[in-house]
Structure 1
Amino acid sequence: MTSVRQGGTGPRLIVHLPCAWDTSATYGPGDTVFGLREGEKCILEVAGVNNGRVFIDDVEVSQGEHGRYEWTAAFFAGRVQIVVTSSDASEAEYFASVGPSSEKVADEQFNAMVGEIQKFRASLLLGSSSAALAFDDSPGRNKLDSLVGLARLRLYAPGFLREVWEICRAPHRSLLQAERRVSLARVKRLHPLALREPLIAAAVAGQTSESPSLELLHVATSTAVQTFDTPSNRALKALVTRLAAQVSTLLDTVVQGGLGGELQEEESRRPRREHFLRHLLKETKVLLTREPFCSVSRLETSAASLTQISAQPAYSRAYRHGTRALLRGVEGARTLDHLHVSPTWGVYETWCFVHILSKLAERLDHFGWKAIRHGVVSAAESYELELSSGIRIEAHFQANFTAGAPPAKRVGWSLSRFRIPDIVIVVQSAARLDFLVLDAKYRSKRDNVLEAMESAHIYHDSLRVRQQKPNFSVLLLPAEADVPHLDADSFLFEHEVGTISQFSPGEPGVERCVDLIADWAMRDAP
């Protein structure tokens, strides 16, 4: 049984999903495949193309038996790009919408996590997985600047360069007043200022002894000539030059393996990304040798150039796409561009931290969390809350506990090797300095939980703030765990390690965790 989804012209992508292996759906270029979840395998076939190759997030998928391609979505959720290339170098683009594992969180819960992180700060969602989510382009802090830059180039640079080529076929030009000398015989009307030249004045007044040839007498005259050296062309050349510089920088980063993420995955994506960037760089260099750019005297973006650009639809459209290709921002309320995000477990870890900040503020009726650069430990994200009772709470995400004695201005350290727990909560007052550790684990099956408990024990035994060990070391699990005794409060209070299951949007684990932290933090409050 085969159903056909209408899309653009080009190769047809035939997809078999695990929910119904005996059926298939056919998609055209630009279509999106729905129904796939993380950890699930699908089978792809390509029709209508010779010597086709399939790339998923720049990684080539090997062709198996009967011309089929097998692909398994890893631990990520979002939109994944599928590209089919043919022997004539043409490409067709498709997408797959991958949902989170239903064994861990429901779709609405995962979407709620993403929405809460975006509201807190969207850049915390960025990552190097194959999945992409929609982001705005407003300025904001961003640790994956190169990966965002590459994504924006892919979204907008090809269209920008196509529009610039169209402009080169009929570029803007203006008339420039230029002065030149012509023979008096070619002048129909003589300007009074020309009489300042003695020979011409004498000839006109008949005061010369010999009648001079009018061809030998020259006079300066003003004339209009066409030029491409206009404000709009200067600004457009400046934009193309900036694009070329950014492409060159990103090409070096890709070649050196500096985009971030797993080295093996980055290396598998490198050939296709490098080919794309080299092609862009070659095209921009060729453009800069063509008119109107080779006649432009200088690079300049001014009020006059932007005014000229806004008045010309072709220039305005190209300039808009060119500036979008260079943007690095990811914040804002609107959803515009699809950028790579963290794996689902990374999204879960981040949400746990953001949600604890929010719910703990509600529980303590104090909403004054402020970002700090220096706490008892260094971390990717650090915040503090000053309470009127004299208690100060620090919350750290991805905290760094260095091996051996603590570094200067830090009091957190590890007895053994370097450790990075997900969440560390520190409570300080005149009489105490205590901390607890929360480690988010995205899997809740029995074997996974028992294996993950190793990190809870290690953190409890090895981490120190001054000479104090953690009061608790707890695993946060999104679903109900298969190991009930580890989830009991009595077990946690007796052994100072354990789990808090069902820590996900709308589930009881959130309240249990926040109550635990709040009661512990306010233990000695007056």
Structure 2
Amino acid sequence: MLRVRTTSGNPEGAPERVVPAPEVTGGFREIGRYELVDPTGTVDAVVVDDEPLEPAPNARLGERAWRWLPGFYAGEVAAEARIGDRAVARFRLDVSPDPRKAGREVFDAMVDELWAEDPALVLGVEPATTRVGRLDAAQNPWIEFERLRRNAPAFLRALDEVVRRPRARLVAEREDRPAHRVRRVDRGTARTALRNPATLALLRPGLEAPTGAEPRFDVPRVTESLDSAANRALAALAAAALARTRSLLRVLERLALADDEESATRSALAKRWPERRRVLVGVERELTRRLRRQPFPSVRRHEVTSAGLVAVDADPAYARAWSCGWRALRRGIGGERNAERHWLSPTWEVYERWCFVRMARELRDEHAELAWTRSVPRDLHVNADAAWSGEANGRRLTILLQPRFPSLPSGCEAGPWSISKSRIPDIVVVDEADGRDLRFGVYDAKYRTARASLMDAMASAHIYRDSLRWAGQRVDGSVLLTPDVALAPELATTEYLDRHGCGGRPMLPDVATG
């Protein structure tokens, strides 16, 4: 349906048209410039990862076109062509890394290595997606949103089937009735009748009934009730889905509005939030409507019991509703990856985190005599996104991912600080001996492979070398990590690092050299 038009400066190899899902259209590249064209002029809008694209200013007569500028991300992107509010076609677009970087094979190898270490380091909020698992307890609100959006329609349809044919249970009760309304009696009825003078007089002619007393009988009655274990369990699941939806509306709106500033290296969440808010509001409305219909109003309490799960499993409609609801609410991203997909971090951030994982592994292998833990030592007085720390015989090595160096000591000169503004280097390695002698090195990861870009990136190495302090100590060395330092070989020499206090080091997955 849609054709692809490349604009000036775009790399070659772009596809001529996009094909409908489930087929994947490849050939797109990050930081590329494309126009998605509808030659028929019937499509009203094109949405990529919930963000409506801007119309292209140079659309030809009789057609409509939209500009798409992929940011710093690589992976699979979801897109839709819409007429009004209705999606008339869905697409899966594959975006490759910038060819000036290390290439798609290398990027995929970094993602796989990160996944094996810690899946949370892979995921982000960029439009590109990757396959995720469903084990462990890790979670974040965007994963919760995507799982809810993906599974809520099937859950709502399954609830409709339950509403049409709800499970009921038989409830045995007793009721006091006059004689002319008695249809069935049991031993209990006989026992109470013999203790009631008015009833006894009715049964035995000749006995005089008390004045004003009416003969009544305590009879059994069997009724149907929708307050069953299965309905209680399903009501608890639907209520949990509704609570999750309302929580996501609050949390994600706060995150999206806090990320409304334009950034050259990240995609703005604020532009995608209106569509995602519309989805959540619709799910909230539909769940509320179904919880107001029988059997759920008849349920006295929401609870999940073993009896309820057995009853749910015995009924295909209930089992289907439970399965869909569980998939919408389940936790976990680890384990073997499956068909479920989630958003990635930008390519440069994937490289930064991969460098941390690879360096941490090298340190652990090189210093196997240390007892390693995945934590930040409290006495370092530092906040970081991730860390590994090894200690033995009075020596401690710590590697930190994006530690914070606040501006000036802030009352704690024993920790990290900056003599200028606050800094957040990518990786810092701290070497301590006997708790007194402390040395630290800084590593800045730059996902670039052009000489001009490398030399420009050295500015950050200079800044970190001159501005960062830890317990009063200056940086021992500031190193630039890059996929191809061979374009500036002088940076990678020991002499250069010793002389200038900064330098470069190549960092690339093994697949690039194998």
Bin of the TM-score, shorter chain as denominator length = 0.7 to 0.9
Q: Which of 369, 373, 387 matches 2:372?
A: 369
Give the C-alpha shift of residue 40 in structure 1.
2.7
Matching residue of 1:58: 50
- Could you say if the C-alpha distance between residues 217 and 453 of structure 1 is closer, same or farther in structure 2, counting changes exceeding 3 Å? same
> Contact 1:14–1:27 (CA<8 Å) still a contact in 2?
no
Alignment of 1:412-491 (within 5 A): 412-430=416-434, 432-480=437-485, 482-491=487-496
Alignment of 1:118-137 (within 5 A): 118-137=115-134
- The answer to which of 69-78 and 338-347 deviates more is 69-78
Alignment of 1:40-119 (within 5 A): 40-46=32-38, 50-64=42-56, 65=59, 66-87=63-84, 89-90=86-87, 92-119=89-116
Give the C-alpha shift of residue 233 in structure 1.
1.0
Show structure 1 runs of 5+ residues with no match. 1-11, 511-526
Give the C-alpha shift of residue 397 in structure 1.
0.7
Aligned length: 493
- The answer to which of 318-327 and 306-315 deviates more is 318-327
User: Equivalent residue of 2:55, what SS?
Assistant: coil
Give the C-alpha shift of residue 119 in structure 1.
1.3
TM-score normalised to structure 1 length: 0.86
TM-score normalised to structure 2 length: 0.88
Matching residue of 1:161: 156
Instruction: Specify the code of the residue in structure 2 equivalent to 1:123.
Output: A
Alignment of 1:19-34 (within 5 A): 19=12, 24-34=16-26
Instruction: Specify the code of the residue in structure 2 equivalent to 1:453.
Output: M
Give the C-alpha shift of residue 344 in structure 1.
0.7
Instruction: Specify the code of the residue in structure 2 equivalent to 1:330.
Output: I
Give the C-alpha shift of residue 485 in structure 1.
2.6
> Contact 2:491–2:503 (CA<8 Å) still a contact in 1?
yes
- Could you say if the C-alpha distance between residues 83 and 168 of structure 1 is closer, same or farther in structure 2, counting changes exceeding 3 Å? same
- % of aligned pairs identical? 31
- Could you say if the C-alpha distance between residues 188 and 67 of structure 1 is closer, same or farther in structure 2, counting changes exceeding 3 Å? closer
User: Equivalent residue of 1:98, what SS?
Assistant: strand
Alignment of 1:132-151 (within 5 A): 132-142=129-139, 145-151=140-146
Give the C-alpha shift of residue 62 in structure 1.
2.2
Matching residue of 1:312: 315
Alignment of 1:200-279 (within 5 A): 200-208=199-207, 217-258=215-256, 263-264=261-262, 265-279=268-282
CA distance in 1, matches of 2:149, 2:81: 16
Matching residue of 1:496: 501
Matching residue of 1:514: none
User: Equivalent residue of 2:77, what SS?
Assistant: strand
User: Equivalent residue of 1:307, what SS?
Assistant: helix
Give the C-alpha shift of residue 160 in structure 1.
1.1
User: Equivalent residue of 1:399, what SS?
Assistant: coil
> Contact 2:185–2:220 (CA<8 Å) still a contact in 1?
no
> Contact 1:177–1:224 (CA<8 Å) still a contact in 2?
yes
Q: Is 1:402 aligned to 2:406, yes or no?
A: yes
Give the C-alpha shift of residue 322 in structure 1.
1.2
Q: Is 1:181 aligned to 2:176, yes or no?
A: yes
Q: Output one character per residue of 1:306-355: Cα deviation in whole Å (capped at 9) or x when no partner.
A: 11111112212211221222234222234352111210111110010001
- Could you say if the C-alpha distance between residues 48 and 156 of structure 1 is closer, same or farther in structure 2, counting changes exceeding 3 Å? farther
Instruction: Specify the code of the residue in structure 2 equivalent to 1:168.
Output: V
User: Equivalent residue of 1:290, what SS?
Assistant: coil
Across the aligned residues of Structure 1 and Structure 2, the Cα RMSD in angstroms comes to 2.9
> Contact 2:114–2:354 (CA<8 Å) still a contact in 1?
yes
- Could you say if the C-alpha distance between residues 299 and 492 of structure 1 is closer, same or farther in structure 2, counting changes exceeding 3 Å? same
CA distance in 2, matches of 1:190, 1:111: 76
Give the C-alpha shift of residue 395 in structure 1.
0.7
Give the C-alpha shift of residue 51 in structure 1.
4.3
Give the C-alpha shift of residue 186 in structure 1.
4.4
> Contact 2:202–2:215 (CA<8 Å) still a contact in 1?
no
User: Equivalent residue of 1:266, what SS?
Assistant: coil
> Contact 2:233–2:302 (CA<8 Å) still a contact in 1?
yes
CA distance in 1, matches of 2:495, 2:184: 108
